[in-house]
Amino acid sequence: MSETMVTVEEQAEAAADFTRGLVAAFGYEAEVTTRREDEDTVIVDVSGADLGLLVGPKGVTLHAIEELVRTAVQRQTEGRGARIHVDVGGYRAKRRAALGQFAMGVAEEVLASGEGRALEAMSASDRKAVHDAVADLAGVETTSEGEDPRRRVVISPA
């Protein structure tokens, strides 16, 4: 076991380098930058034209790319590294906003009908977006039910 800790900045650079190589392997030209979200979270931003393939349907390809980047960096840090998230073309922020809007619509339906509603199965980050969007709305509550990968959010009257 190494006694040398890899800094968050070094991990960010390793994540960016690996992502650049991956994007090039896909045959795309894109700008890859990193930013710190907080003390131990790094966001790798990929921007460019026509990068939809790197996102994939419902972000599935993006999720796989993120796992590859994390694994590559974790190999250097023996699993004690920063949290690393990858975003392509601002997809994550757009998805979070769209999910929030959808969740608020469902919550209003739940308030009007008095009946709970289960949403489709979704990833942990998507479930968090739904929970966060509805958290401050009086009269409804959210819970997650089921086991991954079929885990879903249920919006119910409070």
How confident is the model over 45-72, as pLDDT tens digits?
999 999 999 999 988 899 999 999 999 9
pLDDT band at 86 (very low <50, low <70, confident <90, very high): very high
Would the pLDDT of 84 be above 60?
A: yes
Range list for CATH 3.30.300.20 in the chain: 8-89
Q: How far is CA 96 from CA 13, 65, 100, 101, 156, in A?
A: 26, 19, 6, 9, 21
The CATH architecture annotation of domain 94-157 reads 2-Layer Sandwich (3.30)
pLDDT tens sequence across 90-130 = 999 999 999 999 999 999 999 999 999 999 999 888 999 99
The CATH code that applies to domain 8-89 is 3.30.300.20
Share of the chain above pLDDT 90, in %: 80
